[in-house]
Amino acid sequence: MKATRRQFLELSAAAAAAVLGPRLARAQTSGPRVVVVGGGFAGASCARALRQADPKIAVTLVEPNATFTACPFSNSVIVGMRELSAQQFTYERVAADGITILRTSATAVDAPARSVTLADGAKLAYDRLVLAPGIDIRWGALAGYDEAASAQLPHAWRAGDQTLLLRRQLEAMDDGGLVVIAAPANPFRCPPGPYERASLIAHFLKTKKPKSKLLVLDAKDTFSKQRLFQAAWAELYPGLLEWVPLSKGGNVTSVDAATRTLVTDFGKHQAKVANVIPPQKAGRIAEVAGVTDRSGWCPIDPVTFESKLQAGIHVIGDAAIAGAMPKSAFAANSQAKVCAAAVAALVAGGTPSSPKLINTCYSLVAPDYGISVAGVYQPTSGQLADVPGAGGVSPSDAPRETRKAEAVLAEAWFRTITGEAFG
Amino acid sequence: MHRVVAAAIGLASIAAAAVVAAEPPAGAAACSGCHPSSPRVTSPVVRLAGRDRAEIIKAMQDFRSGARAGTVMDRIAKGFTDAEIQAIAAWYASQK
């Protein structure tokens, strides 16, 4: 019997496997290996999009937590509008997509050898690595604010126990108390977040503890959706909420956790409840992997999200320097899908095409009063830049029905984005 | 595969059909941040998969021109060219 060319090749492969052992045989039958570190909006979305783009890719997601706790809408948890359980998601559906989930941390990355070291010392080889580590707090960058201080002055900027701590402190405060929020300089996770939080805490105080006051001490003179927030504050919370910008002495230079005192260049504020939103940086594994620059964040190629500092490593979500894109869950999901398509193209020997990305962020100014900002982005001169003429914030003269509609759309968005990433 | 898709989108030009591939065209993947792709998600925001191609194109063009009021789509549609809108609409129309 004459062997066809194909049969001959199969026989050759079988013979080679017999000689070289099972290691080579396995390498020939398995697809490209992509490891994703971090199971937040960016990492979980990317792992799923990779499987969808090419089921031959073996995707491993490294994430130490069994449950993800989402930050969007956690401001509603702080003021008792929502329970923390509504913020929590497991990885069962992600695993059901055929993704290997390792419940551990990545502790080191050897970029030239293309290998990740796990907490138990095991090494995981990859063809492409995606880092989605989110943020870490820069402990000590604000004098007096270390991890111990956050037990007195919660940051509540990573949702979970800190969210509940701030909620308990607000609930326990006597009517007439001073609440202070310290907002950081740019860049940081969720640019409109401090102002949504201020709005909802003001709503809580107005309805539950109306003799109280809320002071927002800001390290900036401008912030996201500023005109909309300020117009709503003047309408809804006059005399209750005061925003102090950088130029009027808003920059907090040190804190004293024991006395709940926040010190600015212009004076001291002793709070009954203080929420310190501290300076941040990319999650630790990014620094360990050598993909952070001096800013503490990760410069990336705007087409592939591959690090500009280490080949074969991609960075998405809050940790990345994504030009005009904010550090938001929507942006993380949008970046995750673009990165997955690029990685799928690269491991198949193809060329990634130039992407277009979107961001939409809703903020609640009151439970039934929503505002939004949207943007469209594309690579321009090596950066992700706004597409001119697109994007912007909700109209300043919109009727109350529009604000109500945006509050409903905000909730719908949360269901959709969490369904995309975890559901 | 291309033939099936080209047939499904009917009047699409050869050039537009060539754009329709397994990989979503630029911008298409971002839509599912609000427009659910998972059947398990309930949302008042319309699903795009399997929607009529011409309907998606008209909606995007009307949001972009201001002929149709949007909450965020008026601001987002302004970021897309006619060619991009056509490619995105064809891709979603071809989805189940």
Helices A193-208 and A226-236, packing angle to 10 deg: 0
* Nearest CB partner across the interface for A391, out of B37, B79, B84: B79
d(CA A375, CA A391): 4
Interchain CB contacts (distance < 8 Å): A and B: 111
pLDDT at A220 over 90: yes
Residue A298 pLDDT class (50, 70, 90 cuts): very high
pTM score, two decimals? Answer: 0.90
**pLDDT band with cut points at 50, 70 and 90 for residue B37:** very high
Q: What is the pLDDT of residue A6?
A: 45
Q: What is the pLDDT of residues A76-99, one digit of tens each?
A: 999 999 999 999 999 999 999 999
With CA atoms as reference, report the closest residue to A271 among A284, A280, A258. A258
- Amino acid found at A260: R
Cis peptide bond prior to A187, omega within 30° of 0: yes
Convert the pLDDT of each residue in B59-76 to its tens digit.
999 999 999 999 999 999
Nearest by Cα to A157 from A40, A68, A66, A278:
A278
Task: Determine the Cα angle at A284 with ends A280 and A289, to 5°.
Answer: 130
| Mean pLDDT, residues A292-317 taken together | 98
Give B22's contacts in chain A (Cβ within 8 Å): 53
Closest CA to B56 of B12, B95, B92, B8: B92
Q: pLDDT tens for residues A113-157?
A: 999 999 999 999 999 999 999 999 999 999 999 999 999 999 999
Residue A14: per-residue pLDDT: 43
Asked, for residue B64, whether it belongs to a domain, the answer is yes
Q: Which of B33, B42, B80 sits opposite A333 (nearest CB)?
A: B33
Please tell me the predicted confidence (pLDDT) of residue A30.
76
Could you tell me where the beta strands, DSSP code E, fall in A38-188?
58-62, 67-69, 88-90, 100-102, 106-110, 115-118, 123-125, 128-131, 135-137, 178-183
What's the rounded Cα separation, in Å, for the pair A209 and A231? Answer: 22
Residue A210 has, within 13 A of its CA and on its CB side, a CA count of 5
Domain-located, residue B20: no
| B27 neighbourhood in chain A, CB within 8 Å | 355-358, 376
Residue B69 falls inside a structural domain: yes
Q: How many Å lie between the alpha carbon of A133 and the closest alpha carbon of chain B?
A: 20
Q: What are the tens digits of pLDDT across the range A157-183?
A: 999 999 999 999 999 999 999 999 999
- Please name the residue that has the structure tokens 């060619």: B83
Q: What pLDDT sits at residue A185? A: 98
Structural domain for B69, as ranges: 27-93
Q: How far is residue B72's CA from residue B59's CA, in Å, rounded to a whole number?
A: 13
Residue B58 domain flag: yes
Inspect the interface and report whether the beta carbons of A360 and B72 lie closer than 8 Å.
Answer: yes
| Number of Cβ within a 10 Å radius of residue A422 | 22
| Domain-located, residue B41 | yes
Tally Cβ neighbours within 10 Å of residue A394: 21
Q: Which residues contact A395 (CB under 8 A, 6 or more apart)?
A: A402
**What pLDDT score was predicted for residue A1?**
41
pLDDT band at B22 (very low <50, low <70, confident <90, very high): low
Please compute the mean of the pLDDT values over residues A321-343 and round it to a whole number.
98
Which distant-in-sequence residues (6+ apart) come within 8 Å of A252 by Cβ?
A142, A182, A217, A219, A262, A263, A264, A276
Q: Does residue B77 sit within a domain? A: yes
Alpha helices in A33-91 (DSSP H): 41-53, 74-78
The answer to the question of residue B72 being in a domain is yes
The CATH number covering residue B35 comes to 1.10.760.10
- Under 8 Å CB-to-CB from A242, ≥6 apart: which residues? A213, A214, A215, A216
Q: Determine the average pLDDT of the residues in B11-33.
A: 66
Mean pLDDT of A189-216: 98
Q: Do the domain assignments include residue B3?
A: no
Domain count, chain B: 1
Residue with tokens 């009917």: B10
ipTM of the complex: 0.89
Structure tokens belonging to residue A405: 């509609």
Q: How many CB atoms lie within 10 A of CB A354?
A: 10
Q: What is the mean pLDDT of residues A345-361?
A: 97
Structure tokens belonging to residue A383 = 């950066």
Dihedral angle, C-alpha A60, A62, A67, A73, nearest 10 °: -100
The reported pLDDT for the residue numbered B96 is 78
Find all residues with CB under 8 Å of A265, minimum gap 6, and list them: A249, A251, A253
- Angstrom distance (rounded) from CA A301 to CA A306: 5
Q: Mean pLDDT in chain A?
A: 94
Owner of token pair 């080579």:
A24
Choose from A46, A225, A376, A378 for mutation: most chain B CBs within 10 A: A376
Q: Give yes or no for a contact between A278 and A145, defined as CB atoms under 8 angstroms apart.
A: yes
